[in-house]
Amino acid sequence: DVVMTQSPLSLPVTLGQPASISCKSSQSLVSSDGNVYLNWFHQRPGQSPRRLIYKVSNRDSGVPDRFTGSGSGTDFTLHISRVEAEDVGFFYCMQATHWPSFGGGTKLEIK
């Protein structure tokens, strides 16, 4: 099984400041078709998860451009250029190259 390790576990951020979340996989996420199926999700308190980013760096429809995904191989990062109040909640990375697995989550809170 592919283990996804996120850091930090907790991320206190001042409004308007940038933030980054790291996600490392225990195996390469390069698929046999050449794609890298690494996705990022946001879950606000009391809500379902919502996909933000798919295949490392592609933003889903309606996702603000202050969210950017990057990385390759086994190391990936979600960047938020300017944190807003609505970003509070948990962020999860997930790989779907192999049988799906999620990272443990990063809790973003406003300082």
**Minimum Å distance from CB 16 to another protein?**
28
Nearer of residues 6 and 74 to another protein, judged by Cβ: 6
Q: Which two tokens stand for residue 19?
A: 């933030």
**Minimum Å distance from CB 92 to another protein?**
6
Cα–Cα separations (whole angstroms), residue 55 to 47, 65, 70: 23, 16, 9
Nearest to 92 by CA among 53, 46, 63, 59: 53
Rule CB under 8 A: choose which of 21, 25, 41, 80 binds another protein.
41
Rule CB under 8 A: choose which of 23, 29, 42, 54 binds another protein.
54
Nearer of residues 9 and 16 to another protein, judged by Cβ: 9
Binding of another protein by 7 (CB under 8 A): no
Task: Report CA Rg, the chain.
Answer: 13
Amino acid of residue 59: R
Binding of another protein by 48 (CB under 8 A): yes
Backbone angles phi, psi at 87, to 5 degrees: -85, -5
What do you get for the CA distance between the two ends of the chain, in Å?
36
Instruction: Note the residues at the interface with another protein (CB under 8 A).
Output: 1, 37, 39, 41, 43, 48-51, 54-55, 60, 90, 92, 94, 96, 99-105
